A and B are shown apart, each in its own frame.
Chain A
């Protein structure tokens, strides 16, 4: 309904078209009917209309400005360019009327540009009249699909007159030389803007070219694509000719010539031409970037490329004259467009006649849509959106503060209005976030070219399918995943998909299939990259990793298939047999993974041998505002992003005491039958432990594909937090991903679950440690040893590494027997010698009166010895700093354990003293024992 009203509004407002607007007259002639009726050209026409409308508005303004300041070469150039673009495009579409008007305008302008004519009021009026005429024709095209039959010959005549004779009379002729000089001097300043604009526009155009060329290769007969490509190159050529970029113009000119041949059906599009044209696009891009950087076209030599392209033109068409010189460009262009009208269009039209009836009705819709696109979208500077986003962030914080006040207030009116504020803020936040969302298409669109080039260079055939192009995500994230995604795609083509012969041998379609899928799921954006190649053999990965010393054999043995798969993310890992241009250097997937994790995403690989590989990338929608759980630890609040949260467990009373069990020094919790490793947040952060042991709060989180429980002091609430970066002094601390401001204005740190799990060395089981890691870890375990502390006689306390203790026994005094000089005891069917440590160290015979004597059993190579002590004191974890200031028999050194200096028992010395042969054949066994203890 709304649309209908708008429609009628539109028609009543429009002051155009005396003729029947809805049904195009078939007799209107081939040229006028052709463009509107050619089925697929619609979108191009629409685009052209939008662009032209914008251009015309600009023209209006510029002309008026130029009238005030006739000597401004920047303005003049802008006008010239706009008119030229309109002319070029409409010539191509076969709008002859439009073209002839624009053409005389252009001629006039070029005279002025060259300093042969000076801008005056009369010229201004005529040019403005021309703009109006162009606008009128455009409107007519918009509504009816043809140019309308208003007669503009008078206008054309006036303009031509101005161009040729009138200027002599009006004495506005000036000395060409002086004015050109003047213009030249001013060009530098005012040209900069135009050049900038030209660059931006051209880059966009080039991306479009890339896509279109690849498409065209697949469907060489597609007229629309060809038209679009032609138009793009023509625009670039026209503009750079005007800006005096000779090299660029030469290069694009040959491309244009080649394309025009194809358009006229004299040349057939093939792979060579596609490659040559793509090279051309690259060359143009190169020149553009050189212009951007240095303001010049650069010294690269493109004559080769030009020659190749020229030879293509000449080879297949004898009848056509050689490519014209630069000076001839103007006339040549005209010739092309005329040719087109004469030959090409007739063909198109004859095909299209049948469609005219059907199109007539839909034309109206098209025209309305076209107009609306002009009105309904604007270009906004990204900086502005960023600023807006920041402000919304602040607003969210202020909202949070007010909501906090609301809780303590009883005023119902206040509560109601703060509730409204709450709703509006949330809505605003969502909307503003949406303005920053961009379809993933923006990065995907370059993949067809990437895949095509790569497939060609590897001699493969790859078809690329993309679904979910419109899936949106935050602009910053789009930027961030661009490179990782490109890498994954390249990998898939290079390693994933085999050569056509290989594939045929495997009974597959010789053409490989690469599918990109994007979709929203659970508040995350999922991107899948699937190939139907040979897949990855996990065992092969393992063997490779072993060969490269990236994992130890022990680790390799225990690996699950999934872990083997994840080996590809290890730094330094590469499966490529040979290093190619593209990949195989072993840097890649680990960088991909790191980069994706940096933005809070995950990447996972699934593969079936012989069927293909899928890489699943998951990334959050946005980074700026995230929901998070607020927890406390040692009086400070911390935020845990909800994305990594799994569940909360609260243990009270008995459960708090017994629910958490220890395996060595690692706390674990049985969660529904599964053993969950726990990490104490306070010990990871090096802050005091909570005093309240009655209640234990577990926050179950997920890092990578690994779950663990975080023991925290208190769990508050979930809140929307605004993520702010940390200063550079703190950015190196991996357990924080940023900071945020809480409702009360205080700062809270945001915990990075991944960082914590790495710090707690929990991630090891899913992301394999490298060999180096393991070695480092053992090294640190070595200085951090668990010690058994025992007491003997007057010596006081001594310690022995717990790893050397096989068992602790209490031996009954009356079970002691003597064998020769030695006290022995029957122990597990063997005779075990006993060493009374108190007698080794003590002055007195330290056998206490106790009946049960605590004994440390030390075993080596099946032989045991009992070290009898007076009491077992404690087990502590200390870093051993052996001090050997004094050498005392039986003492290997001393450590500080529990704040007291404790001697370390030289158990080897003591045992050797009693049984000198005890260690002789056991040295090796001892080492084994040690390593297995690790």
Chain B
């Protein structure tokens, strides 16, 4: 029996993403949030999660996708990074998958820099690919947050 890891999956702009299940605290429906003027664009707002204030990060914006069409509401995936909890806004929640480590590969070299930086690797599922996100980098705005110069992005593509 190969070593397996559990992933919480979700979709974003048609892609399947996964986060290691141990990093996920909880998942809940869209909740009204307080917007934060002057905040980085990917910060959608602040949510009151049972008395704790957590920041909601729009993953579409973080990964340079188009915003979600107006009528659809995102879901919250709350991840815990150290002491701090952060909510990631995703399109829809998928299953929790048990995946063998053998199906894992690093992301392709020519992937868009922004995404490549946040994607730890790729799992080859039977019918599609699942991209594993690096929670620390997603949440930590200090790393990988600087806007990537146009030239670099196009060179990467």
- Judge whether A746 and B55 touch: CB under 8 Å: no
**Interface 1/0s, chain B 137-153, versus A by CB < 8 A?**
00111100000000000
- Judge whether B141 and A746 touch: CB under 8 Å: no
Decide yes or no whether A508 CB sits under 8 A from chain B: no
Q: Measuring CB to CB, which residues of chain A are less than 8 angstroms from any residue of chain B?
A: 393-394, 397, 634, 636-637, 685-687, 724, 726-730, 733, 735-736, 739-741, 745-749
| Complex Cα spacing A634 to B84, Å | 29
- Judge whether B51 and A394 touch: CB under 8 Å: yes
Residue in contact with A735 in the complex, picked from B38, B47, B86, B141, CB distance below 8 Å: B38
- Judge whether B48 and A728 touch: CB under 8 Å: no
- Judge whether B47 and A747 touch: CB under 8 Å: yes
Give every chain A residue within 8 A of B106 (Cβ-Cβ).
none
Given contacts A733-B38, A735-B38, A747-B47, contact A727 B54 (CB under 8 A): yes
* Residues 38-54 (chain B) with a chain A CB within 8 angstroms: 38-40, 43, 45-48, 51-54
Which residue of chain B has the shortest Cβ distance to A733 in the bound complex? B38
- Judge whether A728 and B84 touch: CB under 8 Å: yes
- Judge whether B38 and A729 touch: CB under 8 Å: no
Decide yes or no whether B109 CB sits under 8 A from chain A: no
A688 to B: closest C-beta gap in Å: 10
Given contacts A729-B86, A730-B43, A739-B46, contact A636 B34 (CB under 8 A): yes
The 6 A-B pairs at the shortest CB distance, nearest first, are namely: A685-B37, A727-B55, A747-B46, A747-B34, A729-B141, A724-B53
- Judge whether B139 and A729 touch: CB under 8 Å: yes
Please give 17 more A-B residue pairs, beta carbons under 8 A apart, in addition to A636-B34, A733-B39. Answer: A637-B34, A685-B38, A724-B52, A727-B54, A727-B84, A729-B40, A729-B86, A729-B141, A736-B36, A739-B34, A740-B53, A745-B48, A746-B48, A747-B33, A747-B34, A747-B45, A749-B34
- Judge whether B53 and A739 touch: CB under 8 Å: yes
Give every chain B residue within 8 A of A747 (Cβ-Cβ).
33-34, 45-48, 53
**Interface 1/0s, chain B 117-157, versus A by CB < 8 A?**
00000000000000000000001111000000000000000
Interchain Cβ contacts under 8 Å between A and B, 9 examples = A686-B37, A727-B84, A729-B40, A729-B43, A733-B36, A739-B46, A739-B53, A747-B34, A749-B34
Give every chain B residue within 8 A of A748 (Cβ-Cβ).
34
B56 to A: closest C-beta gap in Å: 10
* Residues 55-112 (chain B) with a chain A CB within 8 angstroms: 55, 57, 84, 86
| Complex Cα spacing A736 to B55, Å | 14
Give every chain B residue within 8 A of A397 (Cβ-Cβ).
51
Q: Measuring CB to CB, which residues of chain B are less than 8 angstroms from any residue of chain A?
A: 32-40, 43, 45-48, 51-55, 57, 84, 86, 139-142
A745 to B: closest C-beta gap in Å: 5
| Complex Cα spacing A78 to B45, Å | 55
A378 to B: closest C-beta gap in Å: 28
| Complex Cα spacing A728 to B136, Å | 12
- Judge whether A726 and B48 touch: CB under 8 Å: no
| Complex Cα spacing A749 to B37, Å | 10
- Judge whether B57 and A729 touch: CB under 8 Å: yes
| Complex Cα spacing A726 to B57, Å | 13
- Judge whether B39 and A730 touch: CB under 8 Å: yes
B78 to A: closest C-beta gap in Å: 12
- Judge whether B51 and A749 touch: CB under 8 Å: no
B139 to A: closest C-beta gap in Å: 7
B83 to A: closest C-beta gap in Å: 10
| Complex Cα spacing A177 to B53, Å | 61
B44 to A: closest C-beta gap in Å: 11
B55 to A: closest C-beta gap in Å: 4
Most chain B CB neighbours (cut-off 10 Å) among A394, A729, A745, A746 = A729
- Judge whether B32 and A746 touch: CB under 8 Å: yes
| Complex Cα spacing A141 to B139, Å | 64
Residue in contact with A726 in the complex, picked from B47, B55, B139, CB distance below 8 Å: B55
Given contacts A397-B51, A741-B53, contact A730 B36 (CB under 8 A): yes
| Complex Cα spacing A634 to B141, Å | 26
- Judge whether B39 and A729 touch: CB under 8 Å: yes
Give every chain B residue within 8 A of A745 (Cβ-Cβ).
48
A18 to B: closest C-beta gap in Å: 61
Given contacts A397-B51, A735-B38, A741-B51, contact A749 B46 (CB under 8 A): yes
Give every chain A residue within 8 A of B55 (Cβ-Cβ).
726-727, 729-730
Give every chain B residue within 8 A of A728 (Cβ-Cβ).
84, 140-142
Give every chain B residue within 8 A of A685 (Cβ-Cβ).
37-38
| Complex Cα spacing A77 to B40, Å | 58
B137 to A: closest C-beta gap in Å: 12
B146 to A: closest C-beta gap in Å: 13
Which residue of chain A has the shortest Cβ distance to B50 in the bound complex? A394
| Complex Cα spacing A735 to B43, Å | 16
- Judge whether A746 and B34 touch: CB under 8 Å: yes
B59 to A: closest C-beta gap in Å: 13
Give every chain B residue within 8 A of A735 (Cβ-Cβ).
38
Most chain A CB neighbours (cut-off 10 Å) among B51, B53, B57, B139 = B53
| Complex Cα spacing A748 to B48, Å | 10
Most chain A CB neighbours (cut-off 10 Å) among B45, B51, B140 = B51
Given contacts A394-B51, A727-B84, contact A636 B35 (CB under 8 A): yes
Which residue of chain B has the shortest Cβ distance to A390 in the bound complex? B51
- Judge whether A727 and B86 touch: CB under 8 Å: yes
| Complex Cα spacing A687 to B39, Å | 12
| Complex Cα spacing A48 to B141, Å | 55
Give every chain A residue within 8 A of B47 (Cβ-Cβ).
747
B101 to A: closest C-beta gap in Å: 31
Give every chain A residue within 8 A of B140 (Cβ-Cβ).
728
Give every chain A residue within 8 A of B39 (Cβ-Cβ).
729-730, 733
A843 to B: closest C-beta gap in Å: 42
Give every chain A residue within 8 A of B141 (Cβ-Cβ).
728-729
A137 to B: closest C-beta gap in Å: 51
| Complex Cα spacing A320 to B139, Å | 70
Given contacts A729-B141, A741-B51, A747-B48, contact A687 B86 (CB under 8 A): no
| Complex Cα spacing A879 to B35, Å | 28
Most chain A CB neighbours (cut-off 10 Å) among B32, B38, B57, B142 = B38
A679 to B: closest C-beta gap in Å: 14
Give every chain A residue within 8 A of B32 (Cβ-Cβ).
746
